[in-house]
Amino acid sequence: MRRTIVIAPFAALAFAAAAAPAGATNECRGLQICVPVAGPWVVAPASGVEFQLSCPKRFVVGGLDAELSDRAIDVNFAGGLGSPVNPGITTSGAAVFLGRFVGRRVDGASFRPHIGCIPASGAGQRTPTAVQVFKPGAPAVRVVEELAVSSGTRRLTAACGRGRRFVRATHAIGFYTFAPPPAALIASVHVQQTVRGGRVRLVVHAGTAFRGAPAVSAIVQIDLVCAVGT
């Protein structure tokens, strides 16, 4: 699956702030040249969430890790088909993390994704491993946009664009905080997602608990899967 990334200006600032060394995480372990990139604390509901974290230009994902606010959070990532399993084949310049809280009680569960980015030069080329009727290809792209959360109500609309067909959309709430965000802060951000005519609209409302934490930077990421040429 190819990925098209469209990131708002706020995301670029948050990305720069998050690209600091990643403490006790292991996304760069065993990699001689590695740029660690940390994402926000992503809210992980029982229904599951997807969040895309990107490397700088001309880098690909060489390692992954995550911090969890609760042991009952299941986190993995979407990898590409190909052989050998390798950066540039299994991964690209971005990683899509899949998180889900599987515990008995959801009380502000969140995870912070980390990626270790290595230079793209020398990365392997995608080689499908199985041939039946068709070889695995790239029939879909991801369109990702982010909205900075502020007190009150904000709106974001996204679409696949010309020549692409909308398949599905998800959204994720992320907090750029040092520690996992408290449950009251998470509950203060409400997102309503609607789809009409292939256009996805988000209405984001940040309540009183968010107004009481002016130092907190938060985003809502929308992730569209769009079919190409089908």
The reply to whether 130 falls in a domain is: no
Contact 100, 42 (CB under 8 A): no
| pLDDT computed for residue 89 by the predictor | 75
The reply to whether 80 falls in a domain is: yes
Instruction: Provide the pairing of β-strand 4-5 with 140-148.
Output: parallel
Please tell me the distance from the alpha carbon of residue 201 to that of residue 181, in angstroms, as a whole number. Answer: 25
| pLDDT computed for residue 21 by the predictor | 41
Domain count, the chain: 1
Burial of 194 (0-12, 13-18, 19+ CB in 10 A): exposed
The reply to whether 95 falls in a domain is: yes
The reply to whether 210 falls in a domain is: yes
The reply to whether 146 falls in a domain is: yes
Q: How many CA atoms, within 13 angstroms, populate the side-chain half-sphere of residue 29? A: 8
The reply to whether 58 falls in a domain is: yes
CB atoms within 10 A of CB 185: 22
| pLDDT computed for residue 216 by the predictor | 63
- Count of H-run helices and E-run strands, the chain: 3, 14
| The dihedral formed by the CA atoms of 196, 164, 142 and 137, expressed in degrees to the nearest 10 | 140
Chain center to CA of 82: 22
Burial of 215 (0-12, 13-18, 19+ CB in 10 A): exposed
| pLDDT computed for residue 203 by the predictor | 96
- DSSP of 160-208: --TTEEEEEEEEEEEEE-SSPPPHHHHHTEEEEEEEETTEEEEEEEE-H
User: pLDDT digit of tens for each residue in the chain (230 aa)?
Assistant: 434 333 333 333 333 333 334 458 999 999 999 999 999 999 999 999 999 999 999 999 999 999 999 999 999 998 887 777 778 777 889 999 999 999 987 678 999 999 999 998 754 444 333 334 544 556 788 899 999 988 889 999 999 988 889 999 999 999 998 899 999 889 989 999 999 988 999 999 988 766 655 556 899 999 999 998 76
- Please list the residues that pair with 227 across neighbouring strands: 140, 165
| pLDDT computed for residue 214 by the predictor | 54
The reply to whether 176 falls in a domain is: yes
Using DSSP's 3-state secondary structure scheme, residue 13 falls into: helix
| Domain extent for 33 | 4-124+136-228
| pLDDT computed for residue 84 by the predictor | 78
Burial of 202 (0-12, 13-18, 19+ CB in 10 A): buried
- Residues with Cβ within 8 Å of 154's Cβ and at least 6 positions away in sequence, in order, are 147, 148, 203, 204
Please tell me the distance from the alpha carbon of residue 201 to that of residue 167, in angstroms, as a whole number. Answer: 15
Ramachandran region, residue 79 (left: φ > 0; alpha: ψ -120 to 50; beta: rest): beta
Please tell me the distance from the alpha carbon of residue 214 to that of residue 212, in angstroms, as a whole number. Answer: 6
The two tokens of residue 187 are: 């509950």
The reply to whether 191 falls in a domain is: yes
